[in-house]
Chains A and B, each alone.
Chain A
Amino acid sequence: MPENIVLTEATYYILLSLYDPQHGYGIMQEVESLSRGRVHLAAGTLYGALNSMVEKGWITQLPVEDGSRKKDYQITALGLKILKEEIERLRELVTNGDAIVKGNNND
């Protein structure tokens, strides 16, 4: 039985923003724009998260172009699988939440 992984908001949004290759600052901007300014990802937190996700094989670092200091990252097949499972889990949370807390959205 595989462990039931619950991603943090930062991890979730980083994986999502790496659907296409992206560098560090690009990820921060992408996450901010996806969440309409709600999620602010700080650089140190992002750096740590990127390194541990590379170690786990959820994302991969693309070859660095000559003369560029920017490292691009992209989600791997494993990362995508984890992201999809997380989307399912979030769907369950929202469905259950809506079903029980009925009508409270309309007040």
Chain B
Amino acid sequence: MTERMTKYRWFWVWDFEKEERWLNEMAANGWTLAEVGYCRYTFERTESNEYTVRLEMHPYDEDYINFMEQTGAEYIGRVLQWIYFRKESRLGRFDIFSDLDSRISHLSKIHKMILTLGFANLLIGVANLLIGDANSFTAVMNLLVATLLMYGVGRLQGKIEYLENERELRE
């Protein structure tokens, strides 16, 4: 029986690269991601660096997962719209994106999702404020969430702009 370990961690959506880095640091220490859930990561004992782990925001799509599996990647699981893959290092380098265009379009999808959620919270918050004081706690919560999400929008905007500047000169 393979030795297992579960860790609980929280990552903001706009910090998905940090999450991926952490998962690969774990893999480098011989703990490879085997299952994912909300803030829950279950690792199994492997050789150090036996696997590379990648994650991506992509609507659930069996055709896509099939495609990834045919290239040697293993599907670990998903949390909401995020899917997690790993691939044995001996099968070669593992990246999901290899050019600026596809990186930008991935970031733009995340950006759009957070922006929509942010606006929804803002509208609900304002609506609750107007309705009356019975809902004021909810309203304040909505507005706080909206502010946080807008911060995330700004972070992603920065990443997208950086890559777009790069693309002026190269692929």
Contact = CB atoms under 8 A, between A and B. Distances in A.
Interface string A22-51: 011100100000000000111111011100
Interface of B: 56, 58, 64, 66-68, 70-73, 93, 95-99, 101-102, 105-106, 171
Given A42-B98, A43-B67, 9 more contacts: A10-B171, A23-B70, A28-B71, A40-B95, A40-B98, A42-B95, A43-B73, A44-B106, A69-B66
Contact of A8 (B56, B66, B106, B171): B171
A48 to B, nearest CB: 6
Main SS class of interface, A: helix
Contact of A25 (B72, B95, B97, B105): B72
Interface size on A, as a range, is: 10 to 19
Interface in A45-62: 45, 47-49
A9 interface: yes
Given A8-B171, A25-B72, A48-B105, A41 B98 contact: yes
Contacts of A48: 102, 105
Given A43-B96, A44-B96, A25 B71 contact: yes
Contacts, number: 54
A70 interface: yes
Nearest to B73: A43
Given A40-B93, A40-B95, A45 B70 contact: no
Among B58, B96, B99, the most chain A Cβ lie within 10 Å of the Cβ of B99
A45 B102 contact: yes
Contacts of A25: 70-72
Contacts of B66: 69
Contacts of B93: 40
A9 B171 contact: yes
A31 B73 CA distance: 18
B71 A45 contact: no
B43 to A, nearest CB: 23
Closest 3 pairs between A and B when the two form their complex, measured CB to CB: A42-B98, A44-B96, A42-B95
Contacts of A71: 67
A10 B99 contact: yes
B102 A43 contact: no
Contacts of B105: 48
B67 A8 contact: no
A45 B102 CA distance: 6
A47 B67 contact: yes
Nearest to B87: A43
A42 B92 CA distance: 11
